[in-house]
Chains A and B, each alone.
Chain A
Amino acid sequence: MTVTRSQVLKLYRSSLQAAQQFETYNFRKYFYRRTRDRFRASSTLTEEPAIAQAVAEARQELTVMQRQGLVNKMFSHNRVVIESDPKYASGTRRFAD
């Protein structure tokens, strides 16, 4: 089964969104960065089976992030000090990158 470009883009958006659901600063930043780099790296793939495999892995990773994002939300109530430091505004909740 071939994967369409729009399916991949949708998967990418959902994955970034799932990464943003982590309350814990370090996890949120990591999963955002990892998702972005993973999709960027796979964007150069041209062989059909390789693409299909990358998509299957990304789907798997997405369900893990969704579940663990929820778990993380339920138990997290700490903030890392730079999250409230205006000089490091990129570390705040809204701006993930």
Chain B
Amino acid sequence: MLTNALRTLAPRVRTAGLRTSRLLSTTTRTRYAAEPVANHNKPTEALDSNTMPIYLDAQATTPLDPRVLDAMMPYMTEEYGNPHSRTHKYGWETEHAVDTAREQVANLIGAHPKEIIFTSGATEANNTAIKGVARFYKGKKNHVITSQTEHKCVLDSCRVLQEEGIEVTYLPVDKGGRIDLDQLKREIRPTTSLVSIMAVNNEIGVVQDIKEIGRLCRERRVFFHTDAAQAAGKIPLDVNEMNIDLMSISGHKLYGPKGVGAMFVRRRPRVRLEPIMTGGGQERGLRSGTVPSPLVVGMGAAAALAQREAAYDYAHISSLACRLIDGIQSRVSHVVRNGNPNHMYPGCVNLSFSFVEGESLLMALKNVALSSGSACTSASLEPSYVLRALGAEDDMAHSSIRFGLGRFTTESEVDYVVQNVAAHVERLREMSPLWEMFQEGIDLKSIEWSQH
């Protein structure tokens, strides 16, 4: 019955969808034409209207898994109750679904469901955790430690704290992208309230030694926050084993919906924080506002799926990463992978192609959806601050591209990308005078460039 009804509906919905999307694309095109926006990642030559490039940008976002959408659908149709309505069945049913989702997210990281606070994403979780803890303890402790390679939302939260008179230490990282634990130990003061270090870096995929950092912070009685937006559901995380006091997770990085995230806030020993959102007192008073039940249900389903599929996904992504790296390195010389090879999340492959400008390569690879770094900096020509923090020379930072592999990436796609990358790198190098000089054995560092 339902199936038949859907079948007859299908063609109509599809044409309607096509028509609106065409309309939309013409309007956006004209709007953008009037106001030139510097988007250097945009290919010069557009693909025909419904051909899509291969998606290799899993760090920017991941597709919504159809199984997650399936869990969300009832809450976008029949089950519209406010989860905080206590007086009727609409509310109770949605509340029950939110509770299940809370449990699913808690299970993924070994937490108690009561320690999970739903937010609008990792950005809000990071803001709430960092500003919240620092402001709450400001009277006695006015120092926060973070690293130079954190996501912009962590760095900007710390900037705001500095303006409020809180001192912030930005730890440097080594060539491999990891912080030095001895240095962290030295930087912890009696007045330090919080250490915030990300689990997996979004640009290079390097994994920090979260367990050791957690141990150190617990020893020194400093709260430890980790931004696990790129780590949750990808690598094993356990808040108790790793002594994590606060954690940020994003829904759309683990095949869940956009606009939802979660923050873990430890209950024992209790972490207190000053909320940013005030109002109805939802989410233990730490994040007022009606919980978006469809999104939260999706986040829960995504977390449960990530937990169930962890080994399978990890094996698939690791094998694709090997195929990609070996494939490119066997065809192209002078390619280096950025980050400490012993501590990497395989789904994030950041490669520097010597003598090739990353932006030119991105433009040439118009059939592949890639980025040279994080989505927030990809509109500027500035080399990534993360690669700079690794001590990469400017030219290497300029020549890097990030390949983001995910659950839905296929082997054929990787093969296609390898072929295309090899061909374009070769072509771009042939046009490069620097490459020619290098081939002739001229040491480029010995050249005196004229100043201008």
Task: List B contacts of A88 (CB < 8 A).
Answer: 412, 415-416
Q: Which residue of B lies closest to A67 (CB)?
A: B70
- CB nearest to A70 among chain B residues: B6
Please, which residues of chain A bring their CB within 8 A of the CB of B17? 74-75, 77
How many residues from A make CB contacts under 8 Å with B? Answer: 34
Assess whether B137 is interfacial by the CB under 8 Å rule: no
B55 to A, closest residue via Cβ: A26
- B56-74 contact mask (Cβ, 8 Å, vs A): 1 or 0: 0000000100110110010
User: Closest residue of chain B to A25, judged by CB?
Assistant: B410
Q: A17 at the A/B interface (Cβ < 8 Å)?
A: no
Q: Are B51 and A78 in contact (CB under 8 A)?
A: yes
Whether the Cβ atoms of B54 and A81 lie closer than 8 Å is yes
Chain A residues near B412 (CB, 8 Å)? 82, 88, 90-91
Q: Is the CB of A26 within 8 A of B409?
A: yes
Least CB distance from B49 to A in Å reads: 9
B18 on interface, CB distance cutoff 8 Å: yes
CA distance A69 to B18 in the complex (A): 19
Asked whether any CB of chain A lies closer than 8 Å to the CB of B3, the reply is yes
- Flag if A73 contacts B10 (CB, 8 Å): yes
Main secondary structure of the interface of B (DSSP, over half): helix
Contact present for B408 and A27 (CB under 8 Å):
yes
Contacts A70-B10, A75-B13; is A82 near B52 (CB within 8 Å)? no
A74 vs B12: C-alpha distance when bound (angstroms): 9
Q: Cβ of B9: which chain A residues have Cβ within 8 Å of it?
A: 74
Shortest C-beta distance, B415 to chain A (Å), equals 7
The residues of B that contact A74 with a CB separation of less than 8 Å are 6, 9-10, 13-14, 17
> Are B70 and A77 in contact, with the CB atoms below 8 A?
no
**Which chain A positions have C-beta within 8 A of B55?**
26, 80
List A73-97 residues whose CB lies under 8 Å from chain B: 73-75, 77-82, 84-85, 87-88, 90-91
**Contact present for B51 and A70 (CB under 8 Å):** no
Contact A79 B415 (CB under 8 A): no
Please report A residues at the B interface, Cβ cutoff 8 Å. 22, 25-27, 29-31, 34, 37, 61, 64-75, 77-82, 84-85, 87-88, 90-91
6 A-B pairs with least C-beta separation: A68-B66, A26-B408, A81-B367, A78-B52, A74-B13, A88-B412
- Which residues of B are in contact with A by a Cβ distance under 8 Å? 3, 6-7, 9-10, 13-14, 17-18, 21, 47, 50-55, 63, 66-67, 69-70, 73, 312, 367, 407-410, 412-413, 415-416
| Given contact pairs A30-B407, A72-B66, a sample of 11 additional A-B residue pairs in the complex whose CB atoms are under 8 Å apart | A27-B63, A30-B408, A64-B67, A68-B67, A70-B6, A70-B7, A74-B9, A75-B17, A77-B21, A79-B50, A91-B413
User: What are 18 inter-chain pairs, A to B, with CB distance below 8 A?
Assistant: A22-B66, A26-B408, A27-B66, A30-B407, A31-B66, A34-B312, A37-B312, A64-B67, A68-B70, A69-B66, A73-B10, A74-B9, A75-B13, A77-B18, A80-B413, A81-B53, A88-B415, A91-B413
